[in-house]
Amino acid sequence: MAHPTPAPRHPRALRPLTALLLAATACASTPPPDPRPTPPQVTGPLCAALPTGTEPGNPTFLANQPVDEALRWIPTLPTFEAALRTSGVLTDLPAGTAVTLLAPTGDAFAATFSEDNWDDLMTHHTDQLRTLLRAHLSTGAHSIDELATTGTVTTLDGATLTAVRTGPTTRLADRADTVCADYRATNARIHLINAVLGPLPVTADGTGHRAH
């Protein structure tokens, strides 16, 4: 007696199995994401002289610090950090505001103010000091590549500065160059520059005798 031939399986019945096999193959071939964050990369001619690797104040350590704390760890910024702390400009910003700091080095301040004139500005002319510092701050945490691509940066004093890439540095307002850019801090970017920006107070005399 002949056995009945089984009915062929409908092609649609194979589709769920095929889809599962394809999904499993895709999962197996896709490497898991690397959970480690990318270490911050600072750029500029001064970076080699600043803390690196596991040294105190290295870029990776600073990336997890509030901006006011991070500034204290960068050895070329004691003048700028002290001025921000004295003026209270950072604390004026609404909580959680991201900020970009164009931070003049100690040498930049020394080339612009005598020691006596800077001390007078810090002690007796807080309004002028705040105006000066606002010329070095911008809202939003912007990398130096973002500034150079945009071509401008608007500071808290309302000025719009040009930002032009010049080889390994970026030229700001045709006046200052970045010497170590792209430090990160919590909700902030810090770019070290080699000149003081903004309208200078009358106490600036360019004598270059300020201690730093």
Digit-coded pLDDT (tens) for 25-74: 555 555 665 555 678 999 999 999 999 999 999 999 999 999 999 999 99
Please give the structure tokens belonging to residue 137: 């701050």
- Residue extents of the structural domains in the chain: 47-193
Q: What is the pLDDT of residues 170-203, one digit of tens each?
A: 999 999 999 999 999 999 999 999 999 998 887 6
Q: Is 211 a residue whose pLDDT tops 70?
A: no
Give the rounded distance of the alpha carbon of 161 from its chain centre. Answer: 17
pLDDT band at 4; cut points 50, 70, 90: low
- Measured CA to CA, the distance from residue 139 to residue 4 in angstroms comes to 80
Average pLDDT, the chain: 86
pLDDT band at 21; cut points 50, 70, 90: very low
The verdict on domain 47-193 having CATH code 1.10.3720.10 is: no
- Measured CA to CA, the distance from residue 184 to residue 62 in angstroms comes to 7
